[in-house]
Amino acid sequence: TALPVLEADGLTATVFVVSGFVGRPGYMTAADVAAAAAAGMTIGAHTVHHVALAHIPAALARVEIEVSREALERLSGQPVADFAYPYGDTSRAVQAMVAAAGFQDAVTTVFGTTAAPWRQFSLSRVRIEGADSLASFAARVLGPLGLRATPGPDLLPAPGRMAERIPGTPY
């Protein structure tokens, strides 16, 4: 898993967990979730069954959102405030359900960084892949000239901000 690598470099991450997959072969175990939380990782919810929320009945979507959060709070022993939409599939109604369930924010699959507080339930994100180094991830986050990855009217330049937090970054 990535946990030992993150710990060795003094880094933390948000791990979005599909609660119904916990314990299945190839997925995190209950002990893995607890260990990640204890190591300072943020545990985020990603539904119970990884379903496209905007394409199922509202009552079922609400259950997927709420039960996932409750299960992960039990497993991690910590509040779960972050949510990721499976497949990036969302709508205004789904975003309202996520907010009503008590989450503080939610991420889509749209690449980029977002600084606009009014978009807290449709945040962009920058993924890290297994082959990424700290430098390549920092470059993806910072973009050219040390600016955030997707400059736009709702984004604020953050020169060097991420690099300051990543040990050994050559920026």
Q: Quote the CA–CA distance of 141 and 148 in Å, as a whole number.
A: 6
| Residue 85: CATH number of its domain | 3.20.20.370
- pLDDT above 70 for 171: no
Domain that holds residue 148: 133-171
Q: Which of 125, 142, 162 is the last residue of a domain?
A: 125
Residues 154 and 99 in one domain: no
The overall average pLDDT reported for the chain is 83
Query: 89 and 52 in contact (C-beta within 8 Å)?
Result: yes
Average pLDDT over residues 49-75: 98
Lowest-pLDDT range of 37-41, 66-70, 153-157: 153-157
Residues 10 and 33 in one domain: yes
Q: Quote the CA–CA distance of 3 and 35 in Å, as a whole number.
A: 9
Residues 14 and 98 in one domain: yes
Residues 53 and 96 in one domain: yes
Residues 14 and 75 in one domain: yes
Residues 162 and 78 in one domain: no
Q: Which of 108, 125, 142 is the last residue of a domain?
A: 125
Q: Which of 90, 107, 125 is the last residue of a domain?
A: 125
Residues 62 and 95 in one domain: yes
pLDDT band at 116 (very low <50, low <70, confident <90, very high): low
Q: Write the CA distances from 101 to 42, 76, 95, 123, integer angstroms.
A: 18, 18, 10, 17
* Amino acid in the structure at residue 47: T
- pLDDT above 80 for 142: no
Residues 53 and 94 in one domain: yes
Nearest to 51 by CA among 105, 80, 88, 12: 88
- pLDDT above 70 for 115: no
Residues 121 and 137 in one domain: no
| Residues facing residue 17 across a β-bridge | 45
- pLDDT above 60 for 152: no
Residues 32 and 13 in one domain: yes
pTM, two decimals, is 0.77
Number of domains in the chain: 2
Q: Quote the CA–CA distance of 79 and 38 in Å, as a whole number.
A: 12
Residues 116 and 166 in one domain: no
Residues 170 and 91 in one domain: no
